[in-house]
Homo-oligomer: A and B are copies of this chain.
Amino acid sequence: MPKNLIKPTTLKGFRDYLPSSMIAREQLIETARGVFRSYGFTPIDTPALEYSEILLGKGSDETDKQMFRFTDPGNRDVAMRFDLTIPFARFTAQHLHELALPFKRYHIGTVWRAEKPQKGRYREFMQCDFDTIGSNANGADIEVLLVIHDLLESIGFSKFTVRVNNRLVLNGLLDKLGLVDSSVGILRCLDKLSKVGHDNVVKEMTEVVGTTTEQAESVLKLAALEGTSDQILAELKTMLSGNEAGEAGVEKLSELFGSATAAGIPNDRIALDLSIARGLDYYTGTIYETFLGDLPKIGSVCSGGRYDNLAGLFTSQVLPGVGASLGLDRLLAAMDELEMIDSGSTPAPVLVTVFDARRHADYLSVGRQLRQAGIGTEVFIEPKQMAKQLKYANRKGFRIALIAGEDEFEKGTWQLKNLESGEQIEVPADGLLEKVQEVLGV
């Protein structure tokens, strides 16, 4: 590289999106938007930069270290947002008088974290959150479940399970066992269950948290309950009988599973899983995690839950809510692994090759005609050698090349080359659109 050139490079932990990955990304995001909107969730956006004081909130030193924080040219202490939750809380408090409650929003935006980059983890990534705030109604929790279901289905997955729990159930049990004060420690142990196994969890609960072995076994019995949601709910009803929080949790879960099933969600796509203990210090009611049937090890691709108060840092108005976050990067990695992503780097399936310079307007016209019928069509920009144009077409992943020279223009025909099969046929110009539609299957 000559000395006077600047080396083109991205910062550590940052990445460019090349066409093929960006096409998949845009499609995924558009699908998600379509689902959110279909349920009446509205989009919002907030700035990338905020006062550090706002983003830090009551955050830990950990949060502080993860922020891209600096002094702006106006001498303000500012930082780039590291999630969409705090900006949403600030937004809500600031615009409360302009919003009709319940307020249902989605927010798809980039966030930045100065973390140590590792495989699949970047310093810049996109979050995709949706929430309903301003209501305790279980109807909002049910809707979040339906939305998660429709998101996964619309993206193209058929085998997946939304696993649901409700913190109130565990709270009820801990209350019955006299362990309410140890709940954080117990949840922390329980969260390790799938990694360390039953015996180690009992050991940690007794030794670190200080429960009796019987208490630990009771908690683990709850987490281990298996069967259909109806069976588990029936057992829970007995176990938690007489405890107010516990009974409320069972009631809410019963209503959630009943309504989801009645609304047409297949039974094998939702499961009651009492071992979910995520969001220890945050979620207070329903909790959701979503696993792919073909790639469960990739982890939850859509998680969330109910919380008591969104914006307590910024307003004295209590705003309970429920929502979830779609893991875009994780989903794209899964789709890639499951070969659900087209490797092409063109969003248009048809290339009109250009053979005869004097006919440029005719090539443009056919492009226009196909486009008006909704078929993405690129017209090559100059009359290069046909071999070069076809190489370009194959490299970018076009599905059809249209070719016409003097002969074809005279006869009023087009050569249609199917780039997937290699087959080439001659088509009358007035039947071209139909034939293209037939080959593309649209």
Contact = CB atoms under 8 A, between A and B. Distances in A.
A107 B380 CA distance: 21
Contacts of A72: 11, 68, 114
Interface string A348-383: 100100100000111011011001000011111110
A15 interface: yes
A38 interface: yes
A11 B51 contact: yes
Contacts of A43: 17, 19, 22-23, 25-26, 347
Nearest to A137: B382
Interface stretch (A97-105, A196-204, A246-254, A298-306): A97-105
A409 interface: no
Residue from A42, A74, A262 with most neighbouring chain B CB atoms (10 Å): A42
Contacts of A23: 42-43
B18 A44 contact: yes
Q: Binding site of A, secondary structure by majority: helix, strand, loop or mixed?
A: mixed
Nearest to A264: B368
A16 B361 contact: no
Contacts of A2: 316
B348 A39 contact: yes
Contacts of A91: 8, 16
A135 B53 CA distance: 50
Interface string A35-62: 0111111111111111101100100000
Given A51-B11, A74-B12, A377-B40, A6 B313 contact: yes
Contacts of A150: 371
Interface stretch (A139-147, A164-172, A176-184): A139-147
Interface of A: 2, 5-12, 14-19, 22-23, 25-26, 30, 33, 36-51, 53-54, 57, 65, 68, 70-74, 76, 78, 80, 90-91, 93-95, 98-100, 102, 104-105, 110, 112, 114, 124, 132, 135, 137, 139-140, 142-143, 146, 150, 255, 258-259, 262-264, 311, 313-316, 345-348, 351, 354, 360-362, 364-365, 367-368, 371, 376-382, 392, 395-396
